[in-house]
Structure formats: structure tokens, C-alpha cells
Structure 1
Amino acid sequence: MDALASFPPDHAADVRHHWTLDPETTFLNHGSFGACPRVVLEAQSRFREQMERQPVRFFVRALEPLLDSTRAALGAFVGADPDDLALVPNATAGVNAVLRSLDLRPDDELIVTNHEYNACRNALEAAAARASARVVVVEVPFPIEAAEQVVHALVGAVGPRTRLALVDHVTSQTGLVFPVGQIVAALAERGVDVLVDGAHAPGMLPLDLRALGAAYYTGNCHKWICTPKGAAFLCVRRDRQRAVRPLSISHGANAPREDRSRYRLEFDWTGTFDPTPFLCIPEALRFMATLMPDGSGWPGLMEHNRRKALAARALLCTALGCAAPSPEDMIGALASVPLPPGDGAAPRGPLFLDPLQEALFTQCGIEVPVIPWTAASTAPAAPAAPAAPRRLLRISAQIYNARGEYARLTEALSMLLPLPAAVLPRFSSSL
């Protein structure tokens, strides 16, 4: 039982009913798409009813002040001026909006690390190709010994033609928290703007975007804030807003209004859409802050999930007979551990699911991602499948996850992988 001693107090039994998650599935993959609580889904239904009851009144008269209220609540949460926030459907759209707005020239250089999320890496490659610019891939090791390695690697890649660095706040594959404050400051000294891909950060990590000072920051709300799918934001520093435009150009491009910036006018209306995920952000922020029984709110929830992720990682490292692949200060509510190499079998499905991930789900009822990890610096070939056999297992830790679920994962791995039985902890599935 010693392996479970480092877990924080388990509140899963008290809060799980707030989610509609399948009770037959051990869901350890909150990080991919999030999961929205019932009370927030109910709020979305009320907004949709309001929208459909009188669509013209809703879109023409009611929507703008509702979006203002959303930005006010979100700005207070992430430490940003509400007027600097544009609402976008996901962080990938935020990254694309910035990259498409850049006036790149031939031979300009764009920096990215080998940990960057594939979708955003593809967007960077496309932006570079349109302008005959060049993508410079910075190798960040994994396993990694210290966060400073990330800063040194990025700074070392800056040259006279460097225009922008696209940097994860929390890496998707490896689950690492990058030191974006140090990165932004170090690159600013060298005249390089940073676009922070903060897809996982809001709700996982405390944010103060004013203090960070990045030229561009985009983050999802549907992951760790637990809004409905389709809610994210783009924060653009005031001196860069004039040049940044949404992916869809619409009425705001020639709106005669002078009470709002062109940045706000263009992003607030890009055509008819369902704004209800955005409008649920205040309710999600309110509700999630109530879940810690000690009243510690969001700070307590973030720390609880982080401690759970660290304890679960330690449990898995023991089972797999490996050392922790990164220091604790680089972990939030995600953690990845290396797996034994695969057998080279081709990944399955449109998203290239590893056969082990499918076996964990179909045979054991466990939803957890198994991620190819090549650390390759070359541009990803699309639509070819990622290379095998190196791979990682990435766990998520949300308050609804019970510590016994991670124990069940180790037991499932013992059945599906050639692991030494002597190091595999066995725990009752009732934990």
C-alpha cells in the first residue's frame, strides 16, 4: 500500500456524479478533449433555448453583452485585459490565426521544438511554405533533467532571421510544463516574439498573461476549465493586435463602429456560429472552483490534480521499472512515461491509435493514450502514420479520477506487456 501513500485525498466518489462519463470506462484521458460537468451542460442548454426562441434578438441584441461578460470572467481568471482576448473555437485555430497574419518574408526563420503538437506544427510548416520561410526545429530531450534545458535550446537556435518561436506551455505528447516565462523573457531580449500554444494550461496551471508579456498566447477552455467543446481564447498583446485577423473575414472588416478595436470587431463576429460554449465559460469557472471540500477553489484544485498526476506517475514508473523521465517541477495534471517498444504493428484508425491503446480499451475498459515518440526534428509526413516502436503512455489527473483507477492501469499493463512481475504493484480494484 506504500505506493498509494503519496496520492492526495481521494474526492472522486464525491464528485464523479457531476460528470456524465461512462461508468464502465476507466477514463484517464481528460487531457485530450476534456469532459464537461452536468451543470455546465445544463447552462449551455439554457443558452441554446434562448438562442432558438428568438434568434435575431439573441444574435443582434443579446450576444455582444454576453460575450463581454465571458471575456470579463475569463480575463480575471487568466490575468488578461478582457479587450485583449479573442474567443476562438480551439487553440489550433488561435495558432493558425496568428501564423496566417504574419508578414513573413523568404528566408525568415520560425522556431519550434520537437515536442510541439502535430496540428500546430503542421500549421507552422504551411505558413513557412507559403512565404518560402524556414522552420527551425529545436531538439528538447525526453527524458529531461531540468527545465533550463528548454530555455537554452531555444535561445541557442535564435539567428538574425528569426521572426517567431512557437512554444508549448504544456506539451501534448510528453506532458511537460515548459518554463514559458523564462522563454518569453529570453527571446524578447533577442527581438523574437513568442506564440505560446497553451492548449492545456488554462485550468491546469495558474496564469498571469499580463505578467508573462508574450506577444501571443492561445489556450483551450474545454480541457481543464471543463467547458463544452469549442471554447478557447487568443490573447494578443496590444501592440500586435492591429496585424492579427481571424481565419474568417466577415462584417467586422469594414464596421463603422469606433467604440471597439478592429481586433475585437473582427473576432467577435466571423459569421453565424453557436456561441454557447463561450457563454458557458463563467459557469464552468464558478462550478469547478466549488469542488474542493476544503474551500481552496481553483488553486487547490490545480494542486490536487498535480499531486495526483505525480503520484500516478510514480506508480507507473515502479510498474514499468523506469525512472521518472522529468523533474517534478515540469509536471502539471498530465504525465507521460516511456513504454517498452512496440512490435512494429501499424497504428489503427484515422488518428493512428496504437494497438496497445486499443487493447487497454477493448480488453480492460481503460481509456488512456499510447503515443508514438520519435523526437524527430524533420517535418511530420502527412498523412503517413507516426513511426513505431518507441512510445509513451500519457495519463491525466482530474478530480473525478480515483487513485484505484491508476492501480487498475498498472494491472492491465501487467497483462498486456512483458513486465517483470516482481516490480508490479497489485492493488484491490475497489480502491
Structure 2
Amino acid sequence: MNPNAFPESRAAAVRELWSLDPAVTFLNHGSYGACPRAVLDAQQRYREQLEREPVRFFLRELGPLLDAARGALASFAGADLDDLVFVPNATVGVNTVLRSLSLRPDDELCITDHGYNACNNAAEAVAARAGARVVVAPVPFPIEAPEQVVDAVLARVGPRTRLVLVDHVTSPTGLVFPVASLIAALAERGVDVLVDGAHAPGMVPLDLRALGAAYYTGNCHKWICSPKGAAFLHVRRDKQGAVRPLSISHGANSPRTDRSRFLLEFDWTGTADPSAALCVADALRAMAALVPGGWPALQAHNRATALAARDLLCEALGCMPPSPDAMIGALATVPLPDAPSSRLCLDPLQDALLERWGIEVPVFAWPASPRRHLRISAQIYNDRPHYERLAAALAALL
């Protein structure tokens, strides 16, 4: 194995821009993200604007503010502004689409065994209510090539398949799936795709127009580093008429004609704090300013860090990298020795890494106990000594 090289570190120059605990080696940006201080300051300004005159804010100011934030996000994600709405998180986005489907008994929803547990649960619940069924496509891991993902899904798609739910970047295995190829192949079979892009915005380049998925949802609080509560749902124009928010509100019978029913319904689902979504443009600007070259350079830096860190850990653990470099973004998963564990509860090793070594990194059973994996994240504030410390901790604890 020829290990990848770590890029020149910028961690020392940027770490103080976050309010992360300096006593913790934080290698789990992927789970919940981490918001820079400057973006939190922007959020507080929006909250103060709201509370200064709530009626003026919600009735007169919120619409233009949402449009500005949506415009910045649409430009970043390669989308048309009218096709994108804010939702609290990608799980809500997935539920929104699934619950808008008109399923018949014996219809099929196809998911993969690399899917996010919460979203797979949503597919099971929606299918059960309609008398439909969920079909699981097993994708190999370790994996040798992206084409194996397409082959695995197509092998489970049949004449009753109504929708395929697939991750852009998988949560348990940290793989960048070939969603463009998959969408094109399924289009030839007349099957729509819902892409769970929870990790993708800010990690990998996005061009939602070119991608052409019927539905795409993504989080902004992870790799864009907005506050928690900011995510988006992108629905292709021909599908928007059937997609309704989980909370039906005033937009359902609004007399306005200056925007689509899709925007009217999703932009107001009830009184809430919209500051996280309004901060998306601030987060995009703040993160782009961290490295010369902006977002493309930031994504390349994080990917190079993830690859080098994965190789360092594989060498320490005596295993081969479980996926090709081409399928890695800013996450990487490596296998651990088998031990009883749970996918939904903290593994004892994860607790020990934090309590004894001050390292925050996820350890989980996948696809089922006793098989265990560890997943690292690479954000601009991480550097080589973080992963060397993890390697030393694993050598001591295992």
C-alpha cells in the first residue's frame, strides 16, 4: 500500500475560529458538524432582529431574507432557486418525500444496507402503512469499485419499484456513492430516485440541475457548517405538485401568485426560529474564506486529509483500505476487531477513547454485531497529530 500524504496543515490557523473543546480531539465532524463562531454571531444577529419586532420580522422581513439565503444555497448547489426549500434536517426531507408518495399495495421501495438508519426506518413505516414492501440492496464493503453500487441496486429493482432511496455519502461506511450513474441507469427503467445527501453539501461538489434526481435532500449543518436546523429539499419541477410539507399550514390556500405553491407551503409551516437557515449564506462565505481557492480548495484539503488519515489508521490496524480512493470524500471508515456492540448505542471503545484519551470518534456495529467499524472525519481544523493520537489510542485499547 502506498499511503496518501497529508496536505499542508492549516489547523493551527483556523482552530480558534470554532468553539470546540480544546481538551477534546474532535474527529467526528460528520455526525453533527460544528459551527464557527462567526456564523453563530450571525445567527444571534438574526435572532435579535426577530425579537426586536416579531410581527415585522415574520410578516415583512422573513420572506426576502429566506429568498436571499435560498439564492446563495441554490447557487452553491447548482440548483434553480424555485426548486429548493428549507427543511430542519435531511431526515425531515426524506420523510417529506416518502409521505408524499401515493403507494399501492405490493409497490416496492428500494434502499441499501448502507443507508442511514433513521431514513430506512421512515421507508419501512411508509411502506407498511400502504401495504407496500421495502427491498434492501446489499452493497459490498469492503468495496472495489463504484460500479458495484449500481449493480447492487439494479439487481433489486423490478417492475413494482416506485422509488429508490440512496445515500450520496453513506453514514456508516463513509462512501461517496456514484449517484449520477445510478440516477441515469434508473431513469432508463422509469424509476425515480430520492437522494439522501445528508453529508454531501460542502463535502463534494454539487450540481443538482445536472444530477437530475427527482428528489434530493441535504444538510447544511455538517460540512457547510451552518447552525443546526438548516437543511434543504430539492424537488424536480415535474414532481413538486405532489410534494407537501409534513405540516400543512397557511401556504395551502395562500392567494399569492408571485411564487409557486411549493415555495408558499414550505416557506411557512408555522412559527419557528428560522435563523439557522438564514445563516447559510454566512456559513458559505465564512468557510470559503478559510483557504486560498475557496470551496474547491477546502473540499480538496479535507479529502486529502481523510485519505491520508485512513491510510495511517489502516497501517496501524494491519488492514487494507476497504474502498478505493475515488469513493472517499471527507469521511473514511475502517474495520475494527469484532466485539459485541450496537449500532444505536455508544460502543464501550468509543467511551474509552473519549474518557481516557480525549478523542471523540464514532465506533459502531455495522452491518450487525459483532462486526465493528470506526469512522473518521476530516475538517479543516484537523491535522496529522489528531489521527496519530487516535492510532496510538487504538493500539493501547485494542
Length-normalised TM-score, structure 1: 0.91
Measured in 2, the distance between the counterparts of 1:143 and 1:371 equals: 16
Are residue 324 (structure 1) and residue 307 (structure 2) matched? no
Q: Which of 387, 408, 413 does residue 394 from structure 2 map onto?
A: 413
Alignment coverage as a number of residue pairs: 398
C-alpha separation in 1, matches of 2:173 and 2:2: 23
Asked if the contact 2:111/2:137 (under 8 Å) is kept, the reply is yes
Task: Report what 2:174 is aligned to.
Answer: 175
Equivalent position amino acid for 1:133 in 2:
A
Alignment match, 2:142: 143
CA distance in 1, matches of 2:2, 2:132: 50
Q: Which residue type is aligned with residue 335 of structure 1?
A: A
Q: Which residue of 2 aligns with 1:301?
A: 298
* 2:23–2:358 CA contact under 8 A, matched in 1: yes
- Per-residue CA deviation, residues 218-252 of structure 1 (Å, 9 max, x unaligned), is 00000000000000000000000000000100001
Q: Which SS does the other structure have where 1:303 is aligned?
A: helix
Equivalent position of 1:184 in the other structure: 183
Name the counterpart of 1:363: 356
Summarize deviations over 1:168-223 as a string: whole Å, max 9, x none: 00000000000000000000000000000000000000000000000000000000
- Tell me which residue corresponds to 1:40: 39
One of 343, 347, 354 as aligned partner of 2:347? 354
Deviations 1:315-358 (A, max 9, x none): 0000000000000000000000000111x2x659xx40101000
**What one-letter code is carried by the residue in structure 2 that aligns with 1:196?**
V
Contact 1:34–1:223 under 8 Å retained in 2: yes
Which whole-Å CA distance do the structure 1 matches of 2:225 and 2:165 have between them?
25
Matched, 1:402 2:383: yes
The match for 2:311 is 314
Q: Which amino acid aligns with 1:301?
A: L
Q: Letter of the 1:336 partner, please give it.
A: T
**1:80: Cα distance to partner?**
0.2
CA–CA distance in structure 2, aligned partners of residues 388 and 157 of structure 1: 25
Post-superposition CA distance 1:13-58 (Å, at most 9, x none): 0000100000000000000000000000000000000000000000
Offset at residue 388 of structure 1 (A) = 2.3
Aligned counterparts of 1:353 and 1:389: Cα–Cα separation in 2:
14
Give secondary structure in 1 for the equivalent of 2:162: strand
The CA distance in 2 between the partners of 1:4 and 1:200, in whole Å, is: 25
Q: Secondary structure of 1:137's partner? A: strand
Mapped to 2, the partners of 1:414 and 1:353 lie a distance apart of 20
C-alpha contact (below 8 Å) 1:91/1:197 kept by paired residues: yes
Residue of structure 2 in register with 1:423 after alignment: none
In structure 2, stretches of 5+ residues that fail to align are none
- Amino acid in the other structure paired with 1:238: R
Q: What is the rounded CA distance, in whole Å, between the counterparts of 1:129 and 1:215 in structure 2?
A: 23
Q: Which amino acid aligns with 1:389?
A: P
- Residues 86-97 of structure 1 mapped to structure 2, 5 A cutoff: 86-97=85-96
CA deviation vs aligned residue, 1:274-293 (integer Å, no higher than 9, x gap): 0000000000000100111x
Give the Cα separation in 1 of the matches to 2:4 and 2:121: 42
Q: Which residue of 2 aligns with 1:114?
A: 113
Corresponding letter in the other structure for 1:298: W
2:360 alignment partner AA: E
Residue identity opposite 1:43 in structure 2: A
Contact map agreement 1:96 1:123 (CA 8 A) in 2: yes
Contact 1:347–1:354 under 8 Å retained in 2 = yes
Instruction: Tell me, yes or no, if the aligned pair for 2:342 and 2:364 is still in contact at 8 Å.
Output: no
Residue 80 of structure 1 aligns to a residue whose secondary structure is: coil
| Structure 1 gap segments, 5+ residues each | 375-386, 418-431
TM-score by length of 2: 0.98
Cα deviation, residue 260, structure 1: 1.1
- Is contact 1:3–1:315 with CA below 8 Å preserved after alignment? no
Q: Report the 3-state secondary structure (helix = DSSP H, G, I; strand = E; otherwise coil) of the residue aligned with 1:136.
A: strand
Paired residue for 1:234?
233
In 2, Cα distance between equivalents of 1:129 and 1:193: 20
Is 1:337 the counterpart of 2:334 in the alignment? yes
The CA deviation string for residues 373-414 of structure 1, in whole angstroms up to 9 with x for no partner, is 12xxxxxxxxxxxx4221100000000012100000000001
Cα offset, 1:157, TM superposition = 1.4
Equivalences for residues 137-286 of structure 1 within 5 A: 137-286=136-285
Aligned match of 1:123: 122
1:70-81 pair list within 5 angstroms: 70-81=69-80
Query: 2:330, 2:377 within 8 Å by CA — same for their partners in 1?
Result: yes
Q: What is the CA distance between 1:4 and its match in structure 2?
A: 8.7
Closer/same/farther in 2, CA of residues 5 and 325 from structure 1, 3 Å limit: closer
Question: Would the aligned equivalents of 2:4 and 2:304 in 1 still touch at CA under 8 Å?
Answer: no
Correspondence for 1:29: 28
Aligned partners of 2:342, 2:396: CA distance in 1, in Å? 20
Look up the match of 1:428. Answer: none
Asked if the contact 1:6/1:311 (under 8 Å) is kept, the reply is yes
1:158, CA displacement in angstroms? Answer: 1.4
Separation (CA, whole Å) in 2 of partners of 1:310 and 1:6: 8
Which residue number in structure 2 is paired with residue 59 of structure 1? 58
1:228, 1:277 within 8 Å by CA — same for their partners in 2? Answer: yes
**Structure 1 pair 307/61, CA: closer, same or farther in 2 (3 Å)?**
same
Contact persistence 1:4–1:403 (CA under 8 A) = no
CA contact (8 A) 2:26 2:360 kept: yes
Identity score, percent = 71
* SS of alignment partner, residue 388 of structure 2: helix
How far off its partner does 1:371 sit? 1.5
1:5 positional shift: 7.4
Name the SS of the counterpart of 2:155 in structure 1.
helix
